[in-house]
Structure 1
Amino acid sequence: MLQILTNHSNEYLFERRDGLLVTQFPAVEHNFHCDVGLEDVQFAVNNSRMLVANLSLASDGTPFEKSEYSDGTFVIPEKVDRLFQCGASVILRGAHRFLPGIRTRVNELRRIWMCDVQANLYVSHPNSIATTPHFDPHDILIYQVSGSKNWKVYDCAFKRPENWDSFKVERHGYGDEIEEVLVDEGDLVLWPRGIVHQPVASSFSIHIAFGIKSPSYKDLMIELINLMALEDEDFRVNPRLQSSSAENVHAMLGLVEKLREVLNDQEIGTRLLDEMLAYDFQGDSSEFSFR
């Protein structure tokens, strides 16, 4: 679906994502552009009455306390600018809410990938580090607006995290550095979820990370159960009404059989899966009917 951005097929790009392989497209190989500059970020911070949840500041991988640049609810532009001038990296979370050019690209990517997409923007000084090594729980599409960054890649045994699975070093851990990816101005990089990385600015840098929150089989199964529960009261029975664990197991096996029957019905199963895969899991899919 990204063939409008590159010369590669849908199958190739999905394979690269699911295969946990970083794929880099130099500027000459794609037509994806998103012009945004430091002045646009400064305008958004100064004029948006921005919630503190939408802005982070960091230095050497360590975030600043929010009290250092906000009143606890809204950011204080003068304090943000002071820390930035002293070398802090700026992370604008949900950048598509503040910058129209990024919003346009987010909407395009939502149509392309048929899922929820968000965008964060990073402004970094030369040789600065905004984050410690971590993975993202969703695929990301990196667009290097200006400057360049060197992305360090680390080994990690934990694969394919969920969209809600925030990286915690004590739980997930990571190993030795195994690769470095230099991303230059104009480059586009498809970065699959679960790859532990740490970007280091090689020069003054602005990049956008588009988070692509694709569904998993678990998401599809949960959505399928939710849809069936709308029409079949057996899915809505309180398990504490049963007198034993054995009765609950029997009841649940009956529900599994009902799921199997729906999926085995080629017409209903295919229509259901097609509609759910085209649905971004952020709205209301309750209009689907099994009839």
Structure 2
Amino acid sequence: MPTASRGAGTGGPGLTDRTQIATSPGPPGGADASRRPAALTRCVAVDPASFADVYWGREPLLSRAVDLGGPAGFTDLLDRPAADQLLSQHGLRTPFVRVARDGEVLAEPTYTAGAGAGAEIDDQVLDERVLGLYADGATLVLQGLHRLWPPIISFVGELSTTLGQPLQANAYLTPAGSRGFATHYDTHDVFVLQTEGRKRWRVHDPVLIDPLPQQTWSGRADEVVARSGSAPALDVVLGPGDALYLPRGWLHSATAQQESSIHLTIGVRAFTRYSLVEALLELAVTEPRLRTSLPFGADPGEPAGITSELTATVAVLRDWLASVEPDQVAARMRRRAWSAVRPAPLPPLQQADRIRTLTVDDVIRRRPGLRWRLTSQSDDRVNLQIFDRTVSFPGGCVPALRTVLDTAGVRVGDLPGLDTGADQLVLARRLLREAVAIAG
């Protein structure tokens, strides 16, 4: 992200208000991880600049496996054995699994119940019930894989960093010849990554351009059905390693072909101009003129009852909007954006051990994916704002903090601005304890 200029309220030598997003956490794990292409180039067969200018939020894009990341496709992210493991050995609960058949989502009790001694909670997914439903043609949806499955956690983390948007990841396991969902549209952009099998996708033009989260397809079901009967804008079969980008609002349905299919859907929860309107609405409560009651006896349900007040309110709103500063809106957008994207996972037990055993010869580095902002609190204190809290430090720690936050890694004994190795260790351990940094 661009560096914000220092505001009038920021003090202290060398300290600026700054927002940073960490370098990407890297490609998914595995022996050949370093040779895999970057996350975005695994999803689209055009260069990132062309994707941003031509397709992002505008047009679908079909990318064939031969033009993407090579013969491996997407099986490193999720394959059939991995799906079986998730469904049978991880104690998944709803809503991490959904089941659909012939366009209808099945009721949760058809595939969930208690799981025996010590696991009596009745929303746990049972593998024998899932087996029966899948064998009868139902589609299984594994949801929230960006929080469950390590290869997808890494992949989604990198892609989120590139796009600057919150992401989610679901997997769709569809038996041969079956269709899980009827024609519909999503209120978020999606990257469809075909992992195994083949699936036919029929894509139609939107009935509503750029729908917001509250503008779901079910509210326009008749229009969706009518549009789905027309000639599709795109009618393609995705095979292993193929990818399809769909902007929000584009109608689609997908049917597995002569073999079962697994595909991943990476959903992009993009921020919009309406997101800025929502932030402005939060700020509007600070304007006393907008908190004034309507006249006594006025009927707000009739035009005559609100006409004059509406005119006055619009005038006040216009005047107030002209006074709003970008940093006020950014502060509210920051809370939403940062809370929607978690930093890379860290091992709590290992991290606690490293806090205890840390020495001045160890190297620490900023937690991958961590967004941060360093600002002054007073003449002798600084605040480090991260995704879920603000941490206060003595002002003399600024050079050391900036070194940890701005560089790929630093030896504890080389942290600048601190008088002794003991001081360096105190700060380094604090950064590990606050999950700002990791050791190694």
Matched, 1:253 2:295: no
Aligned 1:253-272 pairs, distance under 5 A = 253-262=315-324, 269=326
What is the rounded CA distance, in whole Å, between the counterparts of 1:283 and 1:73 in structure 2? 27
Larger radius of gyration: 2
Paired AA for residue 224 in structure 1: L
> 1:153, 1:196 within 8 Å by CA — same for their partners in 2?
yes
Paired AA for residue 250 in structure 1: A
Aligned 1:30-49 pairs, distance under 5 A = 30-31=68-69, 33=74, 34-49=76-91
- 1:10-29 Cα distance to aligned partner (Å, 9 max, x none): 3533531332x210111132
Residue correspondences, number: 278
Matched, 1:214 2:267: no
Paired AA for residue 254 in structure 2: P
Q: Which segment is superposed worse, 43-52 or 124-133?
A: 43-52
2:389 aligned residue: none
Question: 1:214: Cα distance to partner?
Answer: 0.6
2:215 aligned residue: 165
Question: 1:88: Cα distance to partner?
Answer: 2.3
What is the rounded CA distance, in whole Å, between the counterparts of 2:129 and 2:150 in structure 1? 25
What is the rounded CA distance, in whole Å, between the counterparts of 1:149 and 1:280 in structure 2? 36
Question: 1:160: Cα distance to partner?
Answer: 1.4
What is the rounded CA distance, in whole Å, between the counterparts of 1:35 and 1:83 in structure 2? 25
Sort the Cα spacing of 1:140 and 1:236 in 2 relative to 1 into closer, same or farther, 3 A. farther
Sort the Cα spacing of 1:173 and 1:189 in 2 relative to 1 into closer, same or farther, 3 A. closer
Matched, 1:22 2:60: yes
Paired AA for residue 10 in structure 1: A
Paired AA for residue 164 in structure 1: Q
What is the rounded CA distance, in whole Å, between the counterparts of 2:194 and 2:40 in structure 1? 19
> 2:39, 2:158 within 8 Å by CA — same for their partners in 1?
no
> 1:61, 1:132 within 8 Å by CA — same for their partners in 2?
yes
Question: 1:255: Cα distance to partner?
Answer: 2.8
> 1:160, 1:193 within 8 Å by CA — same for their partners in 2?
yes
- 1:177-228 Cα distance to aligned partner (Å, 9 max, x none): 42312211101211111111110112221100000011111111222343x4
What is the rounded CA distance, in whole Å, between the counterparts of 1:59 and 1:196 in structure 2? 19
What is the rounded CA distance, in whole Å, between the counterparts of 2:57 and 2:328 in structure 1? 23
1:61 aligned residue: 103
SS in 1 for 2:211: coil
What is the rounded CA distance, in whole Å, between the counterparts of 2:77 and 2:164 in structure 1? 24
> 2:191, 2:265 within 8 Å by CA — same for their partners in 1?
yes
Sort the Cα spacing of 1:139 and 1:80 in 2 relative to 1 into closer, same or farther, 3 A. same
What is the rounded CA distance, in whole Å, between the counterparts of 2:166 and 2:145 in structure 1? 14
1:181 to 213, 236, 251: 236
1:265 aligned residue: none
SS in 2 for 1:36: coil
- 1:249-271 Cα distance to aligned partner (Å, 9 max, x none): 42442232232344xxxxx54x6
2:280 to 224, 235, 238: 224
Specify every segment of 5 or more residues in structure 2 that has no aligned partner in the other structure, as ranges: 1-37, 114-121, 299-305, 341-370, 376-440
Matched, 1:12 2:86: no
2:301 aligned residue: none
- Using structure 1 for the length normalisation, give the TM-score: 0.81
1:283 aligned residue: 339
Q: CA RMSD in A?
A: 3.2
SS in 2 for 1:281: helix
Sort the Cα spacing of 1:275 and 1:233 in 2 relative to 1 into closer, same or farther, 3 A. closer
Question: 1:170: Cα distance to partner?
Answer: 3.2
SS in 1 for 2:249: coil
Q: Which structure exhibits the higher relative contact order, with contacts defined as CA atoms closer than 8 Å and separated by 6 or more residues? A: 1
Q: Which segment is superposed worse, 7-16 or 120-129?
A: 7-16
Q: Which segment is superposed worse, 42-51 or 140-149?
A: 42-51
Question: 1:277: Cα distance to partner?
Answer: 7.6
> 1:115, 1:280 within 8 Å by CA — same for their partners in 2?
no
SS in 2 for 1:82: helix
Question: 1:35: Cα distance to partner?
Answer: 3.0
Question: 1:52: Cα distance to partner?
Answer: 2.3
